[in-house]
Amino acid sequence: MDYFGGSSVLGVGGRVQNTGPSVGVTPNPRVDEVYHLVQDLRVAERREHALLELSKRRESLTDLAPILWHSFGTIVALIQEIVCIYPQLSPPPTLTAPASNRVCNSLALLQCVASHQETRPLFLKAHIPLLLYPFLNTVSKDRPFEYLRLTSLGVIGALVKVDDAEVINFLLQTEIIPLCLRIMETGSELSKTVATFIVQKLLLDDMGLTYICATAERFYAVSSVLSKMVTTLQQTPSVRLLKHVIRCYLRLSDNPRAREALRQCLPECLQADPNLHHVPEAIANCLREDSATKRWLLQLLGNLSLR
């Protein structure tokens, strides 16, 4: 069914609403324009403009996600935009800035779908997040690739932002943890921050903590990357990145086996007293700037009996 055919459009929750003239109702040109833009996503010649305009407005359009999901052919059009640039990722990479910008606008609309409580389960059921993994798997540090990785991480970040066991269960069955760990090790500061946030949210769920601590290999894969990040933060400090790293360590310490292992492998520079003595200056400055992170670190040391 084409929800945009004739005199009907899609309303909230997938309901079809009549758009014919009504007594006492003033037409809303802004809403009409949004519906026309969504229609334009299905037309190859008008899609790029529609992607740009809708991605600009997505924050202010609370019902955009259901409209995108339930309108005929729209999600298929967004998926086409993603899949068609896969060949540009293969060595030698040929991804251009305009192509990256265009697919990132598509990803921004998918992030809108991933964020909405009505469309999130449908988004997962269709396994659409898996289509983003080739972007997360790239290693080029060129800006078009970095922008693509960061926007893809934003979609996954939107999924985990709301505590939802279905999301965690889905992601744990995929390769998201190794993909995030590599970005945490080699990405830009912003990409590292989002990737670490995703791992943190997985750990904060009991299912995620159990999964990561189930084998020594998984635990050390995570803890070794966190340790390398702490070393890097001593040269290039970042308050928000350190905050996520400390929170990951603190959550790991809730698992008895991980707690024993952390007593041996927690970076020495984090083993501070409450006055931050013997802590590298870059780390100490971050902790002074963010009292919550300092509190989490002291709680971590208490859990590990290191203070």
Q: Each residue of 190-231: pLDDT tens digit?
A: 999 999 999 999 999 999 999 999 999 999 999 999 999 999
The alpha carbon dihedral of 272, 197, 98, 91 has a sign of positive
Same domain membership, residue 91 and residue 152: yes
Number of domains in the chain: 2
Contact 165, 212 (CB under 8 A): no
Residues of the chain with pLDDT under 50: 1-27
Same domain membership, residue 120 and residue 54: yes
Residue 135 tokens read as 């972007």
CA 92 to mean position of chain CA atoms: 27
Q: Which of 80, 90, 189, 78 is nearest to 139 (CA)?
A: 90
Written as one letter, the residue type at 25 is: V
pLDDT for 93 equals: 86
Written as one letter, the residue type at 305 is: S
Which run of H or E residues covers position 10? strand 8-10
Contact 270, 230 (CB under 8 A): yes
Helix (H, G, I), strand (E, B) or coil at 215: coil
> Distance between CA atoms of 190 and 246, rounded to whole angstroms?
17
pLDDT for 19 equals: 37
pLDDT for 293 equals: 94
Same domain membership, residue 124 and residue 184: no
- 171 lies in a domain? no
pLDDT for 162 equals: 93
> Distance between CA atoms of 212 and 255, rounded to whole angstroms?
10
Contact 182, 221 (CB under 8 A): no
Q: What is the CA radius of gyration of the chain?
A: 22
Same domain membership, residue 184 and residue 154: no
Same domain membership, residue 303 and residue 277: yes
Residue 238 tokens read as 């970042």
Same domain membership, residue 72 and residue 7: yes
Domain residues for the domain of 271 are 180-307
- 109 lies in a domain? yes
Domain with residue 194: its CATH number is 1.25.10.10
Neighbour tally for 221: CB within 10 Å: 15
pLDDT for 18 equals: 37
Residue 90 tokens read as 């293969």
Tell me the per-residue pLDDT of 30-71, one tens digit each, with 9 for 90 and over: 778 889 999 999 999 999 999 999 999 998 888 899 999 999
> Which of 134, 162, 190 is a domain's end point?
162
Q: Residue 155: how many CA atoms within 13 Å on its side-chain side?
A: 30
pLDDT for 60 equals: 87
Same domain membership, residue 93 and residue 203: no
Same domain membership, residue 97 and residue 27: yes
Q: Is 122 exposed, middle or buried (0-12, 13-18, 19+ CB in 10 A)?
A: middle
pLDDT for 138 equals: 95
Q: Residue 124: how many CA atoms within 13 Å on its side-chain side?
A: 21
> Which of 162, 193, 214 is a domain's end point?
162
Same domain membership, residue 130 and residue 19: yes
Same domain membership, residue 158 and residue 195: no
What b/e sequence results for 84-119 when a residue is b if at least 16 CB atoms lie within 10 Å of its CB, and e otherwise?
Answer: ebeebbeeeeebeeebbbbbbbbbbbbbbbbbbebb
Same domain membership, residue 2 and residue 143: yes
